[in-house]
Structure 1
Amino acid sequence: MHGIFFDVLILMSVAIVMVWLFKRINLPPILAYLVCGILAGHDILALFEHPEEVQLFAELGIVFLLFSLGLEFSLPKMIAMRHMVFGVGLGQMVLTTGFFMLVALLCGLTLSTAFVIGTMVALSSTAIVIKQISELGILNTRRSQMAVSVLLFQDLAVVPILILIPLLANPSEQSMALMIAMALLKGTIVVAILMSVGKWLLPRLFSEIAQTRTDELFVLTTIFVALLAAGLTFWFGLSMALGAFLAGMMLGESQYRHQLEADIRPFRDILMGLFFITIGMRLDLSVMIAQLHWILLGAALLMPIKAFIIRASAWLFKGDPQDAWASGIKLCQIGEFSFVIAALAVNNALISQNQASLFISVGLLSMALTPLLVNRSLVFAQKLVTSPISDDIAHSIEFEQGKYADHVLIFGFGRVGQSVSRLLKKEAISFLAVDADPVRVQEARSAGEPVTFGDVSQKDILRAVGVEQAKLVLLTFDEPARAVNVVELVSSLNPDVPIVVRTRKVHHLEALYMAGASQVVPEILEGSLMLASQVLHLSGVPMSRILKRVRIERKGHYRHMQGIFPGESTEINYETHDRLELMHAVSVTHQANANGKTISDLNLSKMRVSVKGLRRNNVEIAEPDDNTVVMAGDVLVIAGKPRRVERAERYLLFGNEV
């Protein structure tokens, strides 16, 4: 018992170090877990004599992952996607299995072995792909929906494959057709049960649980429902993940969807980490070292071929080329269920242990490359598709060139860009919008909007839309790094044009102004300014004074509105620590270095910290001048970046002693 405890403790320590290290070098945690599994495997640390003992707990990670995925896909949405699931998904499964079966047969393998290899290659990693696209926030994009549709069909296909493998090893035991028919009957029964329970019972159950207002009971019930659905399908001989997905899908239409997802996420993420660790444990380093050249060659050939087959399947069912390539690049790895099939095939003597180890090594390499491929899938797809958009959009820049002068350019035609364009239209102000989303551009142009497709970070595009003749440029997309580059580019082409930039975060103001922006509108501060204007108006302040105050704040780059007193909920991380401006009250004592000195003497500006106010005898002195003498008992309010504020406080209290 003590040995298992210390093994688990060592495994957690290795996992923590690996995840921390990989995050520091901007690599996804999935790779960290795979490396942790390799270190914990029998070739290095050998923490678990029987790794299969933790396999059940690891598979619960997939159960919770598919339950979360089911919450995103309601039944009406699944019905709407049926042509992709049973079209592109079926086509990919048949074509990939058939192609690699043919390759295996040409290499002299038997038909049964070739079928096993074909099905193993045809499956992709639901766990890695779904986790990556969820973290990137692109689950609801069209290209990700196609990838998810293919993955769903693959998960459905796992069931008959697992039934067929023992029959292929012992074909005379029972009628194969009868076994498949029984499996289909079981599948129909369990799906009907889960859908009925999900539609009629689960909403009432969670409604009753929610009324108790007990968080623990809600979390416990969520876990119980996910595991019960998984256990039901497993009892019927089907995939546990399928049951969890169906349960989640039934609850996807309920008002509890977001709470259910939040409750299940901590368990899902921890168990998914354990799942990837167990995959890493399966790697046989001796086989990997001895067959490294074949492993590299196998991955280099397998992944592009699989991506091409998915593209071909989408072409058969009239899928969008760019979406198809992006989906193919996401799904070109070998999946975790392939390892389950490999283990079953070894037990039934359909493939050898060395063949399985070689296949697992190729699969792990493909999985390790998957996070990078998912992140860059759209970029690669755009390079592969020479005509990703319709001719109407492709020629729109040429059509617009020379037509506009003294116009407003709107870069980004999302929610903000469209709102601004409607007001410009009401004032009869000429404008042209540029957006990089071909679907949005097509929809807007069909409605007669002056929108063109293009990447505004390219000089040719900016010249084509008349940036040198524009009277104003508005950037609406919320990508600060890209916005800085575009502002610099616009300024170089037309130094006199006013550039207005919309941003969400306050700490991006300085970088955008330094790049050449004329006015940066942070949504949070501008929203606060409008709210304050309404409060002042309803409090009886004359409108002329309110407008004057608004103009002063905007002209001064919201100087009086910046800086916040931090609290427990204030998010300070690696990104914001050196950008967020905080306010802090320093109580001056008799022994303080600041006592008896003027603000000018303290020279806080040298530390890049400003004095926002001073409170003396419960009387506030707003923005005290440089000649104000700081006295014991005063409360000095300073503002600046977190580290600078800490340094300034030490200086005010202790001087050069610290």
Structure 2
Amino acid sequence: MLTDLLLLLLFAIISVIFFRRIRLSNIVAYLFTGFVLGPSLLNILNSYHELELIAEFGIVFLMFSLGLEFSLTKLIAMRRSVFGLGALQVIVSFIMFYFICQFFVMSWQQSFTVAGILTMSSTAIIVKVLSDQQQLHSQTGKLAIAILLFQDLAVVPFLIIIPIIAMPNMDSGLVPLLSMAFVKGALAVAVLLAIGRWILPRFFDEMGRIRFDEVFILSNLFVTLFAAWFTQFLGLSMALGAFLAGMMLAESHYRHQLSADIRPFKDILMAIFFISIGTLLSFDILRDNLALLLLMVVGMMLAKLITITLAALLMKEKLTTSLGVGIALAQMGEFGFILVALASKYQLLDEELSSLLIATGVISMSLTPLLVKYSQTITREALHHYEKVFRLQKPLPGQFSDHIIICGYGRVGQIVSRFLRTESLPFIALDRDPMRVKEAREGGEKIEFGDASRREILLVAGIEKAKLLIITFNDLQRSLALLTQIRELNADVKVLVRTKNDKGIDELHEAGATEVIPEVLEGSLMLVAHVLYLSGVPRRKILKRLDCERKTKYQHLHGFYYGHESSQSTKNAWTVEKLHAVILSSSSGFIDSAVLTFHLNGVTIKSLHRKGGEEISITDKTSFHAGDVVLLQGDKYDLLKAESILQGKS
């Protein structure tokens, strides 16, 4: 047993490190560990029975932790989403999967079990993925959590029913057996909740007064295991008792301490549970049924996506939000594995079906982070032909004339359109984000869906008669491509291009831009204008200075002294021109030679300073002296090369 445990821990550690590197869940790593070490591949474990016993306690502690999350206050606050959307999803998904299983000639017991397994989604993975991608408090995140809460509640009836329907020759006595099971369940709820209301608060108050951490932890373990033993004594699942124990303590002020104390036991034992589930995977079965497995994964995920989306739409949620929730919850969950283990224990599912279900769960859970990350893109493509969003209303002849075209309706495009509307100037906005188009249209905005870089879209927008076009998106290559199209269709239209910084200004002007507005440099100019105005400089002089700076293409704003922090934090930092000071040594080969004789592509001498800080005007007669400080401007590698040349190192 000890040898098996050491092997499990070592391989689990290696697997977790590897799977974390490729950004997959720990659950997948544990399942992989069981698969490799189990009978299907290496078959080096001997203590399968002991492993299953430990794994069962993992389920107990997981259900206890889950019960701690089910405070009545929380459920009441989310009752519409939990008991409306959540219940609708579980019912619709369960019925659909049940009849699909019946179509494949499964017994009703197997159909019931498989439908329950596939209906569940992964609470652990979804909460982590949504949290990592900062979507937990979005509408999509809130609805996903509500559905997961109801799914977690729905596990309890399955834990009661599956052992009963697995009993041989029970078809005739199903109703009495189920009735008896629910009576026992009601008795367990009543007894445990009574204990939780009147006895446990005093018990934990006493443990708290002792102020001895070990006793408090032992008390926590005792309560969890006692509740599990009690429901098992009644002929029900241990997991049910643990869940009820968590629920009866959910309203107590010890809730967070109990959760923190139980977590190490839960995490370790759950790892053992998932490893034990991994041992059920059969390499031979997966190899021989690869096509069926892929069909199951795709079929299950599509079916859940459709049912969850429809359930959300029936609850009057937006189509984009509904699709987002469907994509997020399309996988199989950890409670599905618990039901697989339970059904296998009672021989409801054979080895082949169990292995295929577990593999389906593993693959779908592995795909979830990627699907959630790109859910907006997937939703956009899925809605590409949705008539209400994408109906591009072609203008009547003469509808557009001397108007303004805004390409891109992000924040900048929307701000520009508001000012144009205030001045009653005619304009049309184009954007290729369907959700944004739909929202803007519903708000009464003049916007059309379309990719402005496409010739036919520009023609529909009346490019031939437009007097001004504004490119608001920050994408140099797209802007250059769009300018090429514009100049082919209308060589006279004025074009304003917004960029993030001064990179590509010359390219954009050469491609046909009338004006290029670099956001960072214009922001700096506005700051300078305020500083000069508050310092007493006349407004007319300030405006003249700003106009001069723009005409010289922001000559005084080019270059940037980079430090360690800015080079670390700025994306693509070395692609922006930088300033770099070089102190000429006496060994330099340029001493006493004319400054203007120094040439290196990509590098400009911005200024020259003598010892003491005096700035020297650079003319044809100006020469380098030892100790001069030469201020260079250019890209990183050009600057390093220039410094090397000036110092005579190359």
The TM-score normalised by the length of structure 2 is 0.70
Q: Map 1:529-608 onto structure 2 (within 5 A).
A: 529-572=525-568, 576-592=572-588, 595-604=591-600, 606=601, 608=602
Structure 1 CA distance, aligned partners of 2:620 and 2:274? 61
Q: Map 1:230-379 onto structure 2 (within 5 A).
A: 237-238=242-243, 285-379=283-377
Is contact 1:579-1:641 (8 Å) kept?
yes
Alpha-carbon shift at residue 534 of structure 1 (Å) = 0.8
Q: Map 1:120-519 onto structure 2 (within 5 A).
A: 120-129=117-126, 131-132=128-129, 146-147=143-144, 149-162=146-159, 164-166=161-163, 168-169=165-166, 175-178=180-183, 181=186, 237-238=242-243, 285-382=283-380, 384-385=382-383, 388=386, 390=388, 397-399=393-395, 402-436=398-432, 441=437, 444-445=440-441, 449-478=445-474, 482-483=478-479, 485-504=481-500, 507=503, 516-519=512-515
Alpha-carbon shift at residue 466 of structure 1 (Å) = 1.3
Alpha-carbon shift at residue 299 of structure 1 (Å) = 1.9
Alpha-carbon shift at residue 118 of structure 1 (Å) = 0.9
Match of 2:91 in 1: 94
Q: State the SS of the aligned residue for 2:486.
A: helix
Alpha-carbon shift at residue 149 of structure 1 (Å) = 4.5
Structure 2 CA distance, aligned partners of 1:578 and 1:115? 61
Match of 1:212 in 2: none
Alpha carbons of 1:423 and 1:32: their partners in 2 closer, same or farther (altered >3 Å)? same
In the alignment, residue 421 of structure 1 is paired with which amino acid?
S
Q: Give the aligned length.
A: 584
Alpha carbons of 1:35 and 1:446: their partners in 2 closer, same or farther (altered >3 Å)? closer
In the alignment, residue 120 of structure 1 is paired with which amino acid?
I
Q: Map 1:637-652 onto structure 2 (within 5 A).
A: 637-652=631-646
Alpha-carbon shift at residue 351 of structure 1 (Å) = 2.7
Alpha-carbon shift at residue 508 of structure 1 (Å) = 6.6
Alpha-carbon shift at residue 88 of structure 1 (Å) = 3.6
Alpha-carbon shift at residue 321 of structure 1 (Å) = 4.3
Structure 2 CA distance, aligned partners of 1:463 and 1:377? 32
Is contact 1:321-1:385 (8 Å) kept?
no
Alpha-carbon shift at residue 373 of structure 1 (Å) = 3.8
Q: State the SS of the aligned residue for 1:312.
A: helix
Structure 2 CA distance, aligned partners of 1:511 and 1:186? 78
Is contact 1:30-1:276 (8 Å) kept?
no
Of the three residues 618, 642, 653, the one matched with 2:647 is: 653
Structure 1 CA distance, aligned partners of 2:248 and 2:648? 64
Structure 2 CA distance, aligned partners of 1:355 and 1:39? 20
Q: State the SS of the aligned residue for 2:492.
A: coil
Is contact 2:380-2:433 (8 Å) kept?
no
Map Cα deviations across residues 262-295 of structure 1 (whole Å, 9 max, x no partner). xxxxx9xx99xx9999799666544433432321
Structure 1 CA distance, aligned partners of 2:642 and 2:61? 51
Match of 1:116 in 2: 113
Match of 1:616 in 2: 610
Structure 1 CA distance, aligned partners of 2:8 and 2:614? 61
In the alignment, residue 522 of structure 2 is paired with which amino acid?
E
**Once superposed, what is the RMSD of the aligned Cα atoms?**
5.5
Map Cα deviations across residues 179-228 of structure 1 (whole Å, 9 max, x no partner). 65578779999999xxxxxxxxxxxxxxxxxxxxxxxxxxxxxxx9xx99
Match of 2:233 in 1: none
Alpha-carbon shift at residue 535 of structure 1 (Å) = 0.8
Is contact 2:4-2:46 (8 Å) kept?
no
Structure 1 CA distance, aligned partners of 2:640 and 2:128? 39
Q: State the SS of the aligned residue for 1:306.
A: helix
Match of 1:103 in 2: 100
Map Cα deviations across residues 42-82 of structure 1 (whole Å, 9 max, x no partner). 358999999999999999999999x9x99xxx979x95x76
Is contact 1:187-1:238 (8 Å) kept?
no
Alpha carbons of 1:154 and 1:36: their partners in 2 closer, same or farther (altered >3 Å)? closer
In the alignment, residue 330 of structure 2 is paired with which amino acid?
C
Alpha carbons of 1:484 and 1:318: their partners in 2 closer, same or farther (altered >3 Å)? farther
Match of 1:220 in 2: none
In the alignment, residue 562 of structure 2 is paired with which amino acid?
P
Q: Map 1:54-65 onto structure 2 (within 5 A).
A: none
Structure 1 CA distance, aligned partners of 2:530 and 2:500? 21
Runs of 5+ consecutive residues of structure 2 not aligned to the other structure: 168-173, 198-216, 228-238, 257-263
Q: State the SS of the aligned residue for 1:569.
A: helix
Alpha-carbon shift at residue 40 of structure 1 (Å) = 9.2
Is contact 2:286-2:293 (8 Å) kept?
yes
Structure 1 CA distance, aligned partners of 2:413 and 2:385? 26
Structure 2 CA distance, aligned partners of 1:190 and 1:580? 68
Structure 2 CA distance, aligned partners of 1:595 and 1:243? 86
Structure 1 CA distance, aligned partners of 2:368 and 2:422? 48
The TM-score normalised by the length of structure 1 is 0.69
Structure 2 CA distance, aligned partners of 1:611 and 1:245? 70
Deviates more, 1:105-114 or 1:503-512: 503-512
Structure 1 CA distance, aligned partners of 2:405 and 2:634? 35
Q: State the SS of the aligned residue for 1:237.
A: helix
Map Cα deviations across residues 488-534 of structure 1 (whole Å, 9 max, x no partner). 44344334333323344555757756765443333333222211111
Structure 1 CA distance, aligned partners of 2:474 and 2:273? 34
Alpha-carbon shift at residue 128 of structure 1 (Å) = 4.5
Map Cα deviations across residues 344-385 of structure 1 (whole Å, 9 max, x no partner). 333444334443222121222223444454455445545555
In the alignment, residue 604 of structure 2 is paired with which amino acid?
S
Alpha-carbon shift at residue 624 of structure 1 (Å) = 4.6
Alpha-carbon shift at residue 550 of structure 1 (Å) = 1.7
Match of 2:517 in 1: 521
Alpha carbons of 1:542 and 1:37: their partners in 2 closer, same or farther (altered >3 Å)? farther
Is contact 1:586-1:637 (8 Å) kept?
yes
Structure 2 CA distance, aligned partners of 1:119 and 1:433? 49
Structure 1 CA distance, aligned partners of 2:10 and 2:529? 57
In the alignment, residue 499 of structure 1 is paired with which amino acid?
V
Q: Map 1:17-36 onto structure 2 (within 5 A).
A: 29-30=23-24
Q: State the SS of the aligned residue for 1:564.
A: coil
Alpha carbons of 1:447 and 1:309: their partners in 2 closer, same or farther (altered >3 Å)? closer
Structure 1 CA distance, aligned partners of 2:504 and 2:247? 45
Tell which structure's C-alpha radius of gyration is larger: 2
Alpha carbons of 1:585 and 1:163: their partners in 2 closer, same or farther (altered >3 Å)? farther
Q: State the SS of the aligned residue for 1:500.
A: strand
Deviates more, 1:615-624 or 1:86-95: 615-624
Q: State the SS of the aligned residue for 1:363.
A: helix
Q: State the SS of the aligned residue for 1:344.
A: helix
In the alignment, residue 110 of structure 2 is paired with which amino acid?
T
